[in-house]
Structure 1
Amino acid sequence: MTSSVPAGAERLSSVATASRILREFGKHSTQLGVSQLARSVGVGKSTAHRVIWTLVEEGLLEKVEETGLFRLTSVMRGLGASAETAQRLHEAATLPLDNLRPHTTGTLHVAILDGFDVLYVERREGRGAIPVFRSVGARNASYVTSSGKVLLAYLPDDQLQSLVAGMRLVPRTPRTITSRSLLLAELALVRRQGFAENRGESQPGMCSIAAPIRDPLGRVVASVSVAEHVADEAAGLLHLVRPVTETAQRISAGLGWQP
C-alpha cells in the first residue's frame, strides 16, 4: 500500500534518498559503505556520498574511523530503541492496567524517562480522571511526579547525580521539592521502599503513586502510576501502594523479568 503525495506538496528526491539510506541500516549489518548504500538504494555513488555526508552533518550517521564505514549515531539508535520499548510496554501493560482500573477513579499512566522529563506512553482513565496529561506523548518534569521519582531513583548513582545537578527545581506548588539535597534524600527513600509518591507537588490537590517496571535484567525501564484529585494532600494515596506495585510486577513479568 502506497500513500499519494497531497496536492501542492513537492516530493524531494534528496529526502527520499536519505530515508532509503537510513532504512538500509535496519536491513543489513550495522556498518555500511558508500558504494554498498548506492547500489542498495539505486542511486549514483556521488549522490549517495553527498546524502550520507549530509546525514553525518545532521548527526544521524557517523563514520567509523577503524573501518571507514558508516553507522547510525546513538541518537538514531536511541529512537529505534525507544520505539521498540514503547511497543513492548504497550503489549505487556494492556491487561495489568485494565485490571488496575477498578481500584481507582483516577488516571493510570505508564511512563519512561526522557532527559529531565517523564514521557507518558500509556494511559487509562477512570470515572473521575484528572484533567491533565490526557494524551499519550504528554510529558512533565520528573522531580514533581511520582513516575519521575521512581525513574530517577533507580538510575546509576553517577548518572543520577549528574541529572539532578542539571535540573532547574522550579516550585509548582508550596509542596514542590526545590532543594537538590532533599530531592536526593527523597529518591533514596523511594529506592528503599519500592514506590514513590507525589503529594500535591505538581498541581494543588493532585496526588499520585508510582512503582518501577523492570526489564528481563532487572533494570528499571518505566514506571506505572495512578493519579487522583484528593481532599487531603498530606494523606496521599498510600492505600494504592499494593495494587500499583503488583501491577508494576505484572508488567515487568510481561517484559520477561523474574524476581
Structure 2
Amino acid sequence: MTEQSAPGTDRLSSVATAARILREFGKHSTQLGVSQLARRVGVNKSTTHRIIWTLVDEGLLERVEETGLFRLTTTMRSLGASAETAQRLHEAATTPLDELRRYTAGTLHVAILDGTDVLYVERREGPGAIPVFRSVGSRNAAHATSTGKVLLAFLPAERQARLVEGMRLSPKTSRTITSRPEFLAELQRVRRQGYAENRGESEPGMCSVAAPIRDPLGQVVASVSVAEQVESVDAGLRHLVAPIVETAARISSGLGWNR
C-alpha cells in the first residue's frame, strides 16, 4: 500500500482560497474589493487581504488606482480569452473539418498565433500522420508553416513589423525563407491571395496550404490548414486551395462572420 494521501486530504487552504478569489472575477465582475471578495469566498478580511496582495505580487491581479479595487491582469484575461477562443473554434470547426475529408486524407489543423509560434488547437489525423505536427497543444515556428504565414499576414501592419523584426528565421530545411525582406514579401503575397502555401519549408517532402478564420468583426483569429507528404514539393497542394479556403469561410461563419 502506498503512502500517498487520498485526494483532497493534503490540499492547502490558502491555495484553494486564492483559486476561489480568482474565479470570482470570472462571474461578470471585472473589479472587486477586499470586503466584497471576503464575503463571497467566506474568508475573513485579513486573510483575503494577504492572499490578494500575494496574487498582485505574482502578476495575477492588479490594483486599479482610480477605484482602489482589484482586477485580473492582462495576462490572466488573455488566458481566459484564449481558452474561450479555443472552445468556440472547436465548436465551429468540427463539421467543416470532418467534411474536408472528402477532398484529402492529409492531416488537418486549426491553429492560433502565440508570439512567433503557431499553437495547434484542433487536429484531424490522416492515414500518414505528419511527424512534425504531433498533437493538439504542440507548436511550430510561424515562419516555416502555411498556418503561421496566414496568421502573420493578416496582422495589423505595426504588430506584424514588430513580430517579424524580432523573429529568428531559422532554417528548418533548405527551402525555409530566412531573409526578412523576402519573408515580408511573402506575407504581402499571402494577404493578397487569401491563402498560404508551405512547400517543404518545415519538413522535407511535406507541403501544406492554409487559409484564415475570421471572427464576427472580420478579424483573423485562427487558421485552418491541411498538410501532406508529397512526391514533389514543387507542385505543392494547389488542388486543395479552394477546399481549404471554403472550409475556413465555413468555420468563420460558425464564429459569426458574415462573408
Shorter-chain TM-score: which interval? over 0.9
Q: Which amino acid aligns with 2:101?
A: R
1:214 aligns with 2:214: yes
CA contact (8 A) 1:105 1:129 kept: no
Distance 2:189 2:235 in 1: 17
Q: Give the secondary-structure state (helix, strand or coil) at the position aligned to 2:108.
A: strand
Q: Which amino acid aligns with 2:194?
A: G
Distance 2:6 2:255 in 1: 40
Distance 1:66 1:181, change over 3 A: same
1:110 aligns with 2:110: yes
Q: Which amino acid aligns with 1:30?
A: T
Farther off after superposition, 122-131 or 139-148? 122-131
Q: Give the secondary-structure state (helix, strand or coil) at the position aligned to 1:102.
A: coil
Q: Following superposition of structure 1 onto structure 2, how do residues 1-259 of structure 1 map, counting pairs within 5 Å?
A: 6=6, 10-259=10-259
Q: Give the secondary-structure state (helix, strand or coil) at the position aligned to 2:111.
A: strand
Q: Which amino acid aligns with 1:114?
A: D
Q: Give the secondary-structure state (helix, strand or coil) at the position aligned to 1:185.
A: helix
TM-score normalised according to structure 1 size:
0.96
Unpaired segments ≥5 residues, structure 1: none
Distance 1:175 1:6, change over 3 A: farther
Distance 1:172 1:69, change over 3 A: same
Q: CA deviation at 1:131?
A: 2.6
Unpaired segments ≥5 residues, structure 2: none
Distance 1:130 1:167 in 2: 25
Q: Which amino acid aligns with 1:19?
A: A
Q: CA deviation at 1:28?
A: 4.3
Q: Give the secondary-structure state (helix, strand or coil) at the position aligned to 1:236.
A: coil
Distance 1:7 1:82, change over 3 A: closer
Question: How many residues are treated as equivalent by the alignment?
Answer: 255
Q: CA deviation at 1:128?
A: 2.8
Q: CA deviation at 1:126?
A: 2.1
Distance 1:9 1:234 in 2: 61
RMSD of equivalent CA atoms: 1.3
Q: Give the secondary-structure state (helix, strand or coil) at the position aligned to 2:168.
A: coil
1:75-127 residue CA offsets vs partner (Å, 9 max, x unmatched): 11111111111111011000000000121121000000011100101111222
TM-score normalised according to structure 2 size:
0.96
Farther off after superposition, 120-129 or 192-201? 120-129
Distance 1:248 1:29 in 2: 34
CA contact (8 A) 2:207 2:237 kept: yes
CA contact (8 A) 2:132 2:203 kept: no
Q: Which amino acid aligns with 2:149?
A: K
Q: Which amino acid aligns with 2:151?
A: L
Q: Give the secondary-structure state (helix, strand or coil) at the position aligned to 1:11.
A: coil
Taking only the aligned residue pairs, the percentage that are identical comes to: 76
Q: Give the secondary-structure state (helix, strand or coil) at the position aligned to 1:10.
A: coil
Distance 1:157 1:63, change over 3 A: same
CA contact (8 A) 1:107 1:228 kept: yes
Distance 1:7 1:121 in 2: 30
Distance 2:239 2:148 in 1: 20
